[in-house]
A and B are shown apart, each in its own frame.
Chain A
Amino acid sequence: MITGRVWTFGDNINTDLIMPGPALYLPEEERIRFIFQANRPGWVDQVRPGDFIVGGRSFGFGSSRPAALSLRNLGIGCLLAESINGLFLRNCVNFGLLALECPGVSAAFEEGQTAEVSIEEFTVCNRATAKMLKAVPVPDRLVALMRGGGIFPLLEREGLIAPEQPRAPTNASHG
């Protein structure tokens, strides 16, 4: 069981809102500053590690940019949405962000309430209202990747990619 404070977002939160184009090639520590800049400026300063996002339909619709990585690096504990774009869900698996589709979740939560999520049972509960919802089950091996940091740790363990190097300070220009 994991629990977290909920931030609510509506339908059609696309990848250009999560990670705007100008942020794409910036170092990660700068990039996370751009998250939801157009639709929710200032949010990155309010969110705390372990918080949950509750989205509506088609969360993550759009490009394959590593927006899920930045949400994970921002400390998001779980993404719950009515529906999640297929490519975005893959990137949640790839980058180790726990993400579940959960019909009814949008209406069941107000911002600031606490959600309790069982990964074993695929249930989502609103602690304040005791309303219980069923999430769409995710196959075991995808859950294992989401919870184990994604694909890179797996490839690293098997000696198929080099261990991550500490990144040198960037002096890239982005004109």
Chain B
Amino acid sequence: MGMTIVEKILARAAGLPKVAPGDLVVVNVDTTVLYDSNFFPVYWREVLKVADPKKIVVVFDHRVPAPDRSCAQAQIVGREFVTRFHIERFHDIGFDQGIAHVIVADRAYALPGSVLVCSDSHTGSAGAFNCAARGIGGPDIIYAAITGKTWFQICPTVRYDLVGKLKAGVMTKDVFLSVAETYGDHANHNIEFGGFALGDLSLDARRTLSTMGTELNAEFSTFEADDALLDYVRERNPAPFAPQYPDADADYQDRRTIDLDMIEPLVALPDGVIRNSVPVGRVAGEPIQQAFIGSCANGNMDDLAMAARVVAGRRVAPGVRFLVTPGSQAIYRQALKAGYIETLMEAGAVVTNATCGACGGGHMGVLGANETCITASTRNFKGRMGDPTARIYMASPATVAASAVAGVITHPGEFLGGGTAS
């Protein structure tokens, strides 16, 4: 049997003709991404050498600008590391900053066919770039920076063929929720996305899916490469690369077709996403105090454009805090030029600087006791965004924006000129 995309990338990186599920392989890492959390005393050890500073990227994203002295100190340690090893690809607070996974996409650091690691769990985001990318641990990332290598155990792959076209107001976040509802947990499995619908899905839309692979409990989530991807990368990164395509007889453990026409807006109920979603109508009318759009999954241009479209000419409901966090300062500027930021702010949204912020409950939007939030971000575990008694619903940016305006969970169709059926 042949190999899947991620097997081909890892075989190449390991210098092996073939890898198969169960193999433990040591691979050469093409890109190692560090972020501010890596430099806290509990995670960091003074590094005495690095394998190749050109293969390292440092981004400050989790808690920026520093909300307290411990974060400020970690950023100082990070800057010293950057200076000591002459790391050029450094995204400090300012013009070039953003959420690490979004920067990796904005700048096309994730080269098709390459291996990228970062110690954040949503590193699989770069899988949309035909990249074998995943989160590894803090010590793992130090090991990778020092030696240029890491290890992976090869898991079986489930292939998703996307066909059809999403209806107006339906987003790939809804596709993710549908997969989590239909197929549940993907523990110890890789996910591969491809199919005829790919051409209709923007890279932003694909990145929502690859990022959320983590929330399916999957290992690697990897997309097939197409011309749209390859052109995007070539425009932004002069480095050579070799995309990997699955073998015709690739050994998939399962192959599933998703008809995008059939997807409806969904909402995950509080505390988890695995087999925990319902059509929006089932929870419509549930009052909220906070609505959030942001994170590595939903802080993209597509997401901001959709949110602006939903709230245009309307006002956020009294008693609701509507927080919008662009994924990078570059996206922020782009959305500003496109008029989305003005539309959102006229509606009463609070637009923050690019940071992980409210998604992780770290700062800028922490939930209090018994509050209810609807979020277009990565995770809705109990306690994730603040107090453990807070209830966190998860949905697409369209549904979150509609809910912010209504003050209760609401189907986006009501604000997009479509039907309200759900």
Task: List residues of chain A with CB under 8 Å of any chain B CB.
Answer: 12, 14-17, 20-22, 24-25, 27-28, 31, 37-39, 57-58, 61-64, 66, 69, 83, 85-87, 90-91, 93-95, 139, 141-142, 150-152, 155-156, 159-162, 164, 167, 170-175
**Is the CB–CB distance between A21 and B383 below 8 Å?**
yes
Q: Are B383 and A64 in contact (CB under 8 A)?
A: no
Given contact pairs A38-B388, A161-B45, A173 touches B69 in the complex (Cβ within 8 A):
yes
Chain A residues within an 8 Å CB radius of B153: 86, 139
Q: Are A161 and B146 in contact (CB under 8 A)?
A: yes
Closest A-chain residue to B40, C-beta based? Answer: A25
Residue of A with least CB distance to B147: A160
B196 to chain A: closest CB distance in Å? 30
Given A58-B187, A64-B138, A172-B73, the answer on whether A160 and B49 have CB atoms closer than 8 Å is yes
Is there contact, CB below 8 Å, between B142 and A151? yes
In contact, B43 and A66 (Cβ under 8 angstroms): yes
Expressed in whole angstroms, the Cα–Cα distance for A39 and B119 within the complex equals: 26
Say whether A161 contacts B142, CB under 8 Å. Answer: yes
Within 8 Å CB of B334, what residues of A?
A: none
Q: Is B164 an interface residue (CB 8 A)?
A: no
- Closest B residue to A164 by beta carbon equals B45
- Quick check: B42 and A31 within 8 Å, CB to CB? yes
**Could you say which of B47, B217, B360 contacts A161, with CB atoms under 8 Å apart?**
B47
- The answer, yes or no, to whether B279 is at the interface (CB within 8 Å) is no
Q: Which of B379-403 contact A (CB under 8 A)?
A: 379, 381-384, 386, 388
Beyond A38-B382, A161-B46, whether A57 also contacts B138 by CB under 8 A is: no
B45 touches A155 (CB 8 A): yes
Chosen A-B contacts, 26 in total, with CB atoms closer than 8 Å, are A16-B379, A17-B381, A17-B382, A17-B383, A24-B362, A25-B70, A28-B42, A58-B217, A62-B121, A63-B121, A64-B120, A64-B137, A86-B134, A86-B188, A86-B219, A87-B137, A91-B138, A93-B137, A94-B137, A94-B138, A139-B24, A150-B139, A155-B142, A155-B143, A160-B48, A173-B69
State the CA gap A12–B379 with chains docked (Å): 14
**11 additional A-B residue pairs with CB within 8 Å, beyond A64-B119, A160-B47, A162-B45:** A21-B384, A38-B383, A64-B120, A94-B140, A139-B24, A151-B139, A155-B143, A155-B146, A170-B70, A173-B68, A174-B70
Please report the C-alpha to C-alpha distance between residue A171 and residue B69 in the assembled complex, in whole angstroms: 9
B137 x A90 contact (CB < 8 A): yes
Q: Say yes or no: A14 contacts B45, CB within 8 Å.
A: no
CB distance from A80 to the nearest CB of B (A): 16
A57 & B43 in contact (Cβ 8 Å cutoff): no
Quick one: given A57-B185, A62-B379, A87-B135, are A159 and B48 in contact (CB under 8 Å)?
yes
Assembled-state Cα–Cα distance A133/B41 (Å): 40
Residue B243, interface by CB 8 Å:
no
Taking CB atoms, residues of chain A closer than 8 Å to B49 are 160
| Most central of B24, B48, B135, B139 by chain A CB within 10 Å | B139
Give bound CA distance, A62 to B215, whole Å.
7
**Nearest chain B residue, comparing its CB with the CB of A16:** B381
Chain A residues lying within 8 Å of B37, measured Cβ to Cβ, are 24
Known: A12-B274, A173-B70. A160 touches B146 (CB 8 A): yes
Tell me whether A87 and B361 are in contact (CB under 8 A). no
Asked if B68 and A175 sit within 8 Å, CB to CB, the answer is yes
**How far is the CB of A66 from the nearest CB of chain B, in Å?**
6
* Residues from chain B with Cβ under 8 Å of A94 in the complex: 137-140
* Interface residue B67 (Cβ < 8 Å from any Cβ of A): yes
Residues of A within 8 A of B134 (CB): 86-87
Q: Given known contacts A66-B43, A172-B70, A173-B70, is B137 in contact with A12 (CB within 8 Å)?
A: no
Give the complex CA separation of A150 and B137 in angstroms. Answer: 11
- Complex contact A21–B121 (CB within 8 A): no
Q: Is B272 part of the contact surface with A, judged by Cβ < 8 Å?
A: yes
A160 to B137, CA, bound (A): 18
**A112 CA / B66 CA spacing, docked (Å):** 44
- Would B217 and A85 count as touching, CB distance under 8 A? yes
* B residues 131-151 touching A (CB-CB < 8 Å): 134-140, 142-143, 146-147
Partner of A21, one of B24, B46, B140, B361: B361
Indicate if B71 sits at the interface (CB-CB under 8 A).
yes
| Residues on the A chain within 8 Å of B381, using CB | 14-17, 62
Q: Give B409 Cβ to nearest chain A Cβ, in Å.
A: 22
